[in-house]
Amino acid sequence: MNEGEEPMADAGRAPNALRLQILATEHWSLLATRSMTWNEMFARTGMYLTVLSGVTVALALMAQAAGFGATFRLFALLLLPVVLLLGLGTQIRLGDARGEDVWLVVGMNRLRHAYLELAPDLAPYFITSPYDDPVGIMRTYGPEAQVTPARLLSGTPILVGIINAVVAGVLVTFVADALGTSSTLRIGIGAIGGVVYMVALALVPVRQIARIRREWQPRFPSPPAE
């Protein structure tokens, strides 16, 4: 090879090398953002459970000191709305964070697709997906990442929502007690309050998912064989 051919060869390799560097930088940026999102989810959940545990202990101590009379009810009516508000904010943020995590996975799948365009022979070494449709997203999350009732119930946002529903039911029960209703009616009202809370909050992610499915068009759908 003579001296005149080397610069031409280097010039031919430079664009792919530059593309690879840009893709890798973006990939690490998305990975770091995803890590921060998960850390925030854990931190917010831990903070909420800590506050809930503290309030539960405080109510138990108040019950021992003053019994279950008017003072205890007033104390509970002051603390439980704060707990429910914190739990509501935590639940909403967890739902948003899960949506952000899915979007970050979409971005990483698209970058992986670009990697394979530059080096198709590396496809057998990727266990995650290079496609940004629902099938590709679930493949990136893992071989067991299927949307099942058990998986939904074990998710952190759902667990926080169930705890919030219990807190809402207890709060409604205390309000009914303060209004002088009978014990049977109080229990019924509390149960209805918890169920209404669950139904109202469950409609929010359902509508979000429906809107995303209507508006989102994958750029790199999975082949029919997959």
Q: Which region among 53-57, 60-64, 151-155 has the lowest average model confidence (pLDDT)? A: 151-155
Give the span between the Cα atoms of 77 and 171, in whole angstroms: 7
Neighbours of 21 (CB within 10 A): 10
Average pLDDT across the chain, whole number? 83
- What is the number of alpha carbons within 13 Å of residue 188 lying toward its C-beta? 5
* Dihedral, CA of residue 127, residue 158, residue 83 and residue 43, to nearest 10: -10
Q: Taking the domains of the chain in order of start, what are their residue ranges?
A: 15-215
pLDDT at 81 over 90: yes
* 3-state SS, one letter per residue, for the chain: CCCCCHHHHHHHHHHHHHHHHHHHHHHHHHHHHHHHHHHHHHHHHHHHHHHHHHHHHHHHHHHHHHCCCHHHHHHHHHHHHHHHHHHHHHHHHHHHHHHHHHHHHHHHHHHHHHHHHHCHHHHHHCCCCCCCCHHHHHHHHCCCCCCCHHHHHHCHHHHHHHHHHHHHHHHHHHHHHHCCCCHHHHHHHHHHHHHHHHHHHHHHHHHHHHHHHHHCCCCCCCCCCC
Q: 87-132, pLDDT tens digit by residue?
A: 999 988 988 888 889 889 999 999 999 999 998 998 889 988 999 8
Task: Check if the beta carbon of residue 224 is closer than 8 Å to that of residue 131.
Answer: no
Q: What is the mean pLDDT of residues 171-180?
A: 86
Its pTM stands at: 0.79
pLDDT in tens, 190-220: 889 888 888 888 777 777 777 777 777 888 8
153-174 confidence digits (pLDDT tens):
677 888 898 899 999 999 998 8
* Rounded-to-integer distance, Cα 13 and Cα 89, Å: 51
Average pLDDT of the residues in 144-149: 61
The whole-number pLDDT of residue 148 equals: 63
